[in-house]
Structure 1
Amino acid sequence: MKKKMIMIVGIVALFMGGYFVLDNMLYTGVRPEAIETNGFRANFYAQDDTSNETTLILIGGGQWGDYWGHEVAQRGMVGLSLPYLGKKELPILPEEIDLVYFENAITWLREQPEVNPDKIVVMGASRNAELALILATSFTETVSGVIAYAPSSVSWSNTVLPYNSNKIKASWTYKGSDIAYVPMDKIAANAQGDIDFLSYWRSGLAKKDFVEKASIKVENIKGPILLFSGKDDLVWPSSEMANSIENRLEEEQFEYDFENIKYDEAGHLISTNPDDRSRMESGSITIDDKEYAYTFGGTADGDYSAKQDAKNRVITFLTKL
């Protein structure tokens, strides 16, 4: 049971964007305030004299969220590292996660004197990028912008994670109603006995009827959008999905600023600690009691260069809001 739980945590970390195994946190300036109120748990980052500032919500929390919360607070802004899985009294896996949890966090933030309620941005990576985009489309009056690393253009069913329930469900809900999703069978080995992540996701994107309903309505977002992806992402086709988002925004004549930044020689893990040159090149996944290896894509130099450039762009995005 312990081994299986470790595998579950590893898969969740891969797709849900915490990437805690790669980050090294050093609190040299702003220490977090642990928040447990309004039905949510988070780390709140702000300097003592901060007032009415731009705020960044880090969807998924973890050391990734703490890194960014600390970074923005050091620059006079506010950060909220917001986990929603794995912590005390929180779900273990992303199935039927109610957006009310995040709505409660936003409502609380808007009441804090450090926060400018008209400048709240959500940021996520991988499936948390999917969630960040959904939050920005769902709470258009209270979310003022979104930053998405390795994004998805659609909402996916719970079954895209091997250790979720076998029954197909929505990953995200709102007050009892499902957020429309692309239903997926669980990933399995191909005829050659390999796990092909990219083919798996592309098979979902080929389900046109479902994709039409499950496409994230990014044109409804009332604020700027910033997307990052690695052109060599081998975990899922993030650059392709970023292009789909861009095409949708152009078709709908989106009126706010939008950037779709795609990096050569960069893979899936471009959202990890921007100041850390270390990287994971590969991982493994166990399906039906068999272990399969996979790679994240990118090169060491490509990933590091992408992370550094993206960090600068994130800070610029926030300061210009």
Structure 2
Amino acid sequence: MRRTLPVGRAARNSIDRAGPGSGTVQHARFAPLPAHGLVDETLHLRVEGLEPGARVRLRLASAGAPGTMWMAEATFVADAGDVDLTRDAPLEGSYAGVDPMGLFWSRAAVPGVPGETAADPAVVTLTARDASGQAFLRHELRRSFLAAGVRQASVDAAGLVARLFTPPARGPHPTMIVLGGSDGGFRWCSEVASLLASRGFATLALAYFGIEPLPPTLDRIPLEYFERAIDWLSAHPAVDPRRIGVIGASRGGELALLLGATFPALRAVVAYVPSGILWPGVPQMDHAAWTWQGRELPTAGQMPLADWQRMLADAGLQDDTPEAYQLVLHDLGMIEAATIPVERIHGPILFITGRDDRLWPCEQLTGFALRRLQERGFAHRVEHLSYGGAGHAIGWPHVIAPATRTTHPVTRAVMDLGGTPAANARAAADSWPRMLDFLQRSL
């Protein structure tokens, strides 16, 4: 699913500092680059017209918090008279190895330099510099989550807290419900919904706690809430009710599998770093996260929070680590009761996981679902993208790599998400177009 982007004039790429004797840069130019595009677009960054053997330092920068900017740099040798990031690895810099978009994800916060970046943080500035550090090429590019013509609207119906995104083309469209994780609100889901809508899907970014008037925490969320969302979407003129799917990450990935197993109207499921078994609320571990028809669903590890903290202390473990989850995964009876009946899903399933997930044992938790699908003779396609070296933070590509350690916005616990920025970025770059292809084939 490719988009044609507007191309800026090559003449605007050059900074007129090259005199008659500056053969290294006087004919240099960037290969044509767009003036704007989506954040998930892969660009072909190439500097042409260089002297063979010339050293060129490429810098990508964007505005950050006041007094800072996000910047990445890499030095290349123009062996054949050009530098091509799809072919060349940097001698040194913010990333290593051949990576067409390495300058995008490897940006880090540094003190701001006046005039280095545009004021709009969505605009990135690419410069090429000579051995003295002098910039001789410059190009600005605005990166957006929304394509031109995509419409967005807040949903205030059926008790939902949601945002609807619709593509510019006439519908009805294949549609995805997009769910965030245990951080609540619209984190993760709004950005994913924007990008999917820019690719031709109607999307509903659906909050289910952590924002008024929803519950403040992940605690006994009724599945009937999501049933109302499906019913509301099915009646919307922009939506094809025969082509509705669901996508979620982390606890939202767990939820996506559960919703697919509960509601036949959902015809495709994408689960990022999910669990195939159900877990308690956050942080209220003495209750389930989900209810159906007035009853709490069976959950692994449900107990009073004080008991859980005592178990962790006795074992010398911290919360939100793979080792902590192992404290309850040995109870086979409890696991059987808490396993999501994924064989009831009425369409294909895509799992996306990182093998170095340090938040929870994602490969093992996904394995419960994969084995159940195989044992029950699941009738639809199942795909699993598993990435070595990647952790819990796999999402859309070509943005600043998220930190591998972060503070949970609800529990305030410091979490190790695992992976490395490079491995997480490359997992996102590989999985994102494959996820889009999965949805195209499935819906």
TM-score class, shorter-chain normalisation, is 0.7 to 0.9
CA–CA distance in 2 between the matches of 1:222 and 1:248? 15
- TM-score by structure 1 length? 0.83
Structure 2 residue identity aligned to 1:147: V
- Corresponding position: 1:35 with 2:158: no
**Aligned equivalent of 1:116:** 240
Residue 177 of structure 2 contacts residue 244 of structure 2 at CA under 8 Å; is this kept in 1? Answer: yes
Q: Relative to total residues, which structure has the larger strand share, 1 or 2?
A: 2
Could you tell me which of 295, 307, 316 is aligned with 2:416? 295
Size of the alignment, in residue pairs? 290
Q: What is the rounded CA distance, in whole Å, between the counterparts of 2:171 and 2:438 in structure 1? A: 19
Query: What is the match of residue 51 of structure 1?
Result: 171
TM-fit CA distance, 1:275? 2.7
Asked if 1:311 corresponds to 2:432, the answer is yes
Q: Identify the residue that residue 179 of structure 1 maps to in structure 2.
A: 297
Structure 2 letter corresponding to 1:169: H
Alpha-carbon distance in 1 for matches of 2:415, 2:244: 36
**Deviation readout 1:166-224 (Å, 9 max, x if unpaired):** 6x112100121222211334453445855161121122221211111110000110100
2:384 alignment counterpart: 260
- Residues 127 and 292 (structure 1 numbering): CA distance in 2 closer, same or farther, change over 3 Å? closer
Q: Which residue of 2 aligns with 1:148?
A: 271
Q: Note if contact 1:50-1:77 (Cα within 8 Å) is conserved in structure 2.
A: no
Distance 2:251 2:167 in 1: 30
Aligned equivalent of 1:275, options 384, 394, 398: 398
**Which moved further from structure 2: 235-244 or 277-286?**
277-286
- Map of 1:157 onto structure 2: 280
Q: Which entry has the higher C-alpha Rg, 1 or 2?
A: 2
Q: Cα distance 1:193–1:252, how it changes in 2: closer, same or farther (>3 A)?
A: closer
Task: Return the alpha-carbon distance in structure 2 between the equivalents of residues 294 and 26 of structure 1.
Answer: 27
What does 1:180-219 align with in structure 2 at a 5 Å threshold? 180-185=298-303, 186=305, 187-188=308-309, 189-190=312-313, 194-195=317-318, 197-219=321-343
For residues 192 and 63 of structure 1, do their structure 2 counterparts lie closer, same or farther at Cα, with a shift above 3 Å needed? closer
Residues 69 and 50 from structure 1, CA distance in 2 versus in 1: closer, same or farther, beyond 3 angstroms?
farther
Q: CA deviation at 1:79?
A: 0.8
- Look up the match of 1:131: 255
Secondary structure in structure 1 of the residue aligned to 2:266? coil
CA RMSD of aligned residues (A): 2.4
Unaligned 5+ segments in structure 2 are: 1-120, 123-143
CA distance in 1, matches of 2:225, 2:315: 42
What SS is found at the alignment partner of 1:147?
strand
Looking at structure 2, the residues matched to 138 and 69 of structure 1 have their Cα atoms a distance apart, in angstroms, of 22
Shift of residue 83, structure 1, vs aligned partner: 0.4
TM-score (norm 2): 0.61
Which residue of 2 is the match for residue 170 of structure 1? 288
Could you report, residue by residue, the CA deviation over 1:232-286 in whole angstroms, capped at 9, with x for unpaired residues? Answer: 0000001111122111111111110001211011001113x42313221213579
Cα offset, 1:303, TM superposition: 0.1
Judged with a 3 Å threshold, the aligned counterparts in structure 2 of structure 1 residues 118 and 292 are, in CA distance, closer, same or farther, namely: closer
Rounded Cα–Cα distance in structure 2 between residues aligned with 1:128 and 1:94: 11
Identity %: 31
> What is the aligned partner in structure 1 of residue 86 from structure 2?
none
For residue 277 of structure 1, what is the amino acid of its counterpart? I
Q: Deviations over 1:278-321 (max 9, x none)?
A: 221213579x9xx9754211011110011122211221111112
Residue 359 of structure 2 is aligned to residue 246 of structure 1: no
Distance (Å, rounded) in 2 between the aligned partners of 1:257 and 1:192: 40
- Mean Cα deviation higher: 203-212 or 130-139: 203-212
Cα distance in 2 for residues equivalent to 1:86 and 1:183: 23
User: Contact 1:195 / 1:294 at 8 angstroms: preserved in 2?
Assistant: no
Please say if 1:99 is aligned against 2:217: no
Q: Partners in 2 of 1:214 and 1:104 — Cα distance? A: 24
SS at match of 2:276: coil
Query: Which stretch of structure 1 is more off in the superposition, 251-260 or 171-180?
Result: 171-180
Q: Which amino acid aligns with 1:152?
A: S
Higher helix share: 1
Distance across 1 between alignment mates of 2:266 and 2:376: 20
Q: CA deviation at 1:52?
A: 2.2
CA distance in structure 2 between the aligned counterparts of 1:260 and 1:304, rounded to whole angstroms: 18
